[in-house]
Structure 1
Amino acid sequence: MRFLSIDGKQLAFALAASVVSISALAQSWPNKTVTVVVPWPPGGPSDIAARPLAKGLTESLGQTFIIDNRAGGGGNIGTAAVTRANPDGYTLLITSSAPIVINPSLYKKMTFDPLKDLAPVTNLLRVPLVLVAHPSVPAKTLKELIAHIQSKQGSFSYASSGNGTPQHLTGELFDSVMKLKMAHVPYKGSAPAISDVLGGHIPIMFDSTIAIMPHIKSGKVKAIAITSGKRSPLLPDVPTFAESGVAGIESYAWYGMFAPAKTPKDVVAKINAEALKNMKKPEFQKVLADTGSDFVGDTPENFGKFVQAEHARWGKVVKDSGATVD
């Protein structure tokens, strides 16, 4: 009994020391450079969210937050690197939804499980997608476009910024709901996909308001419908899919911040609080306004529930469409 008592005291002491250690880690974070991995090429939408936030965190916390672009594998390469990093708050991830909630269903082999190997911190941006067409396409409304696609009897194609992206899966969702039998043409990013649509080589595509807005404003493509639940203030004359008579096509490209799993909750909570504080500053608010995004900062718990729901939703879309990249 004596030995059990000593062991019990030692265990209690160890647990108390562990709690104090975790609390101290949260209080001292950050005391060195923080690396923010963006698993996409520089200049993309994830960068648009990451860079002003990293700048704001650097200024407010007095430690450097550096962006590390690690592109490849549909976002899987950079994301996997974060899952292997020390869970101490000094390696973070800012990414689109693809490697988190789409790729697990799209790829037959994944080296990580984003739901188990990452800790959600907060949502950063949530932007709608716009269905656009080359001016030569003889349709001004969604109803007219659907009739035109159906008249092609399976010989109609659409572009996307890559396999597994929200743009690709939203196209698959549209194709499945309306039974259009379109062919998917994936590109390595929005820029080359947009280039081929502008050139008339591909008739239509879905893309985020971030990427496609300048080309809509210039008249180089025409906006047919938007995937948000309500009209965007950036495109007040463009109807939603629901307004156009097509239900079930509400879709967003979202971008979030994550930490490695097992990062102490106190540390995640501090990162979350600092991120939300900086998201309310003018520089990040301008990003929200320019992209047509509402403020979507959230608690780690609520963001985690959102990620779980998105994982289930897009997993069903992948399954129903039969899409795969392996």
Structure 2
Amino acid sequence: MTVDARGRRVLVTGASSGIGRATAHLLARQGARLVLVSRAREVLEEVARECTARGAQETLVLPTDVGDHEAVDATFAAAVAALGGVDGVVHAAGVAAYGRFQDVPPEVFEGVLRTNLLGTANVARAALRLFEERRGGSLVLLGSVLGKMSTPWMSPYATSKWGVTGLARALQIEARSLPGVGVSLVSPGGVDTPIYDLAATSIGHGGNPPPPVTTPEKVAQACVEALDRPRRDRDVGAGNQVMVAGFRLLPGVFDALVTPLMARLGLDGRDTAPHPGNVLEPVPGREAVRGRWPHVWGQWR
């Protein structure tokens, strides 16, 4: 579905940080009317001011935990009441956790799935019901290269993103019978956002975005393009296809190499006490568009 970019009504989840915040900024420069969604009201209000300064016609701040389906339904109802409808949704909310599977606290593992997978389902359900009723709309879901491969110490995130990939493909097939409705998946690799520093850890170290690292603005551009030109799966990251090919075609070699590479390139070298990061509660003071790449590469083995 193609909509005049100026005045387009777009709901963005995860709008307080990283890819979601960069997407909101880009849509604002196009003159969109924005619904900004995340758990942290104070940060969303800051993002709303940033978007207004960049040219957004209107901004609506709706703090929401996407893992709560009733809250998501209420958010969509409030957006429709305020704006008269929603033309597009970019679902970028996400959290991460590092640690061996058996060491990750159950509440943290479940919290990652609640936000990343159930949150995607909740947002997609509300969006598709609205788009079906109005016979048009574009839904963009954020997947990940880890929705197509796996690494050690990121089992909660990989599990959630494999689920998002499967859900997105099912929705794309079902949407073929919905006139004017598009469903897109955008799958980034390593991106310079605060998600790594906000992630939970039970391994004694934080995470790094694995190289090659791209910018949140580049992923945001892919998301905004998908609003007008739905894509089955848009990879954003120079190394994505190589990594996925290795995982699928040379599994023995991949399994032998991925642990030392992850230890060297995917973990921060700083010692960190175990903590839940922003998985269970937001951490407003650390939310921003970009992270702190280049990080100090980990030396832990």
TM score, norm. by length of structure 2: 0.33
TM score, norm. by length of structure 1: 0.31
